[in-house]
Amino acid sequence: MSIKVSYIYSACIIIETEDCKILCDPWFTEGVYDGSWFHFPKVDDPLNLIGEVDFIYISHIHPDHYDPGFIKEYFNKFGEHKIFISNHKPNYLFNKMKVDGFIPTIIDEKKDMIIGNTSIGILPHKTGSIGDIDSALSIKYKKNQKEHVVLNVNDIIMDSKFIEKLKTLFPSIDILLCGYTGAGPYPQTYFSLDDKSLIEEANRKKRQFFDRYKKLTDSLNSKINIPFAGKYILGGKLTDLNDYRGVADAVEILDFDKNAIVLDDGEDSFIDTQNFKASKTRTKRYSRKKIIERCNEIKNKKMDYERLINEDEVNRLPLKRLIFKSYKNAIKKSEAAMDYYFVFDLDSEMCIINANKNNEDIKFIDKKDFIEMPVPRSEIIIDKSYFFGLMTLVYHWNNAGVGSQYMVRRIPNEFNSKVQGFLNFFTV
């Protein structure tokens, strides 16, 4: 016997031994990230495509990994199943799942779950930041003195320290499932679509993620690498951004990784650790025609806040008071130790806030008054109704960014993770 890996969509796979069958990160609800993310290609009848499993593993809280709506559909058809998650502290996923009516099973990183000849381990990705959420899943199957190992690191962006930890824990890996691309808002929401450098920036982003992929696969002793996760397409009023996301097609990995296999979409697409022969593979990029057809199907979809939040009512609310309270909360939790300013456009005023935990500063400036804008800064253009929803925790800033839900002008154009993390706590 061996370990069998079946591909469903994006980060959704099934890992199976003779002892158990584990469904990983099933996402099939259209319009996650507050209405922006859709499937391409579409997945027809995912319930029957997946079938009966023993357990469900959720790697982290992002809605293309944790899809409570689909899990409820699955439970309605097949009955309730145990859901495995990591032991992160604070455990945002655990708390969210409790609110959604689930009681997940936390697997401690120091103690694998043993089922027959199968060992199930969950390794949280910890950097020391309050924003740590990701985890990896290991499946070991040992029989007749032979051990098979499958490691699923989904879309973890890992540093050298974590890679070294994986090398120590898993000196030999049969199948490695890992990310090859990145969703995020950059560059498509940081530039005008008329900017000639946009495609160049998108390609640079792709190369950066290829370098990360190569760093990981070159470091780990894996026989087969399966690039997966991060597969989506923007819908609604964001459809025009799709060409500029810098999101690669998984088959581009085949150009430089001789150990890579891209499992095809659809039914009965799998590989096992016995002979490493895939049942169905994909070697050609998705056609431009099919992508355009899918964009046309979803371009008239509305964002969640367009359907659910009344703009006229928001205009009557004390928005400045909400901003002030949100800032007070965020500055308490800020990990930024340098001056960095966020600028929000509020019709007749601008709100300028400093993310520096050691230099609390918030100003409301009349647009008619001249002011020299501080540097470094991010100027945020956001729908007022959505802004209200983010501050009141109807929506979440991290999802807003990943979902490309607001535009940004960053001066200088440099990324700082601690500064960006500040926004996650900009709520009342």
Residue 282 sits at the vertex; the CA angle it makes with 277 and 288, to the nearest 5 degrees, is 175
Q: Report which of 60, 45, 38, 249 is spatially closest to residue 152, judged by C-alpha positions.
A: 60
Give the model's pLDDT for residue 143: 87
SS3 state of residue 230: coil
Question: CA 236, 241, 245: angle at the middle one, nearest 5?
Answer: 125
Question: For each of the chain's 428 residues, which pLDDT tens digit applies?
Answer: 799 999 999 999 999 999 999 999 999 999 999 999 999 999 999 999 999 999 999 999 999 999 999 999 999 999 999 999 999 999 999 999 999 999 999 999 999 999 999 999 999 999 888 888 999 999 999 988 899 999 999 999 898 999 999 999 999 999 999 999 988 999 999 977 778 889 999 999 999 999 999 999 999 999 999 999 999 999 999 999 999 999 999 999 999 999 999 999 988 999 999 999 999 999 999 999 999 999 999 999 999 999 999 988 988 888 999 999 999 999 999 999 999 999 999 888 999 999 999 999 999 999 888 789 999 999 999 999 999 999 999 999 999 999 999 999 999 999 998 999 999 999 99
- Closest by CA position to 235, among listed 23, 403, 414, 99: 403
Q: Where in the chain is the domain with CATH 3.30.1050.10?
A: 305-425
Domain(s) labelled CATH 3.60.15.10 in the chain stretch across 4-298
Phi, psi values for residue 42, rounded to 5°: -65, 150
Tell the CATH topology of 305-425. Answer: Nonspecific Lipid-transfer Protein; Chain A (3.30.1050)
Q: pLDDT at position 145, please?
A: 86
Residue among 270, 300, 291, 303 nearest 394 (CA): 303
The per-residue pLDDT for 311 is 87
Residue 54, pLDDT score:
98
Q: Positive or negative, the Cα torsion across 409, 415, 418, 424? A: positive
Per-residue model confidence (pLDDT) at position 317: 87
Q: Which two tokens stand for residue 44?
A: 């027809």
- pTM (predicted TM-score): 0.94
Q: What is the C-alpha separation between 391 and 403, in angstroms, rounded?
A: 17
Q: In sequence order, what E strands does 205-272 have?
A: 222-227, 233-234, 270-272
The SS3 assignment for 13 reads strand
- φ, ψ for residue 147, nearest 5 deg: -110, 130
* CA dist., res. 386 & res. 400, Å (int): 9
* pLDDT score at 194: 76
CATH code linked to domain 4-298? 3.60.15.10
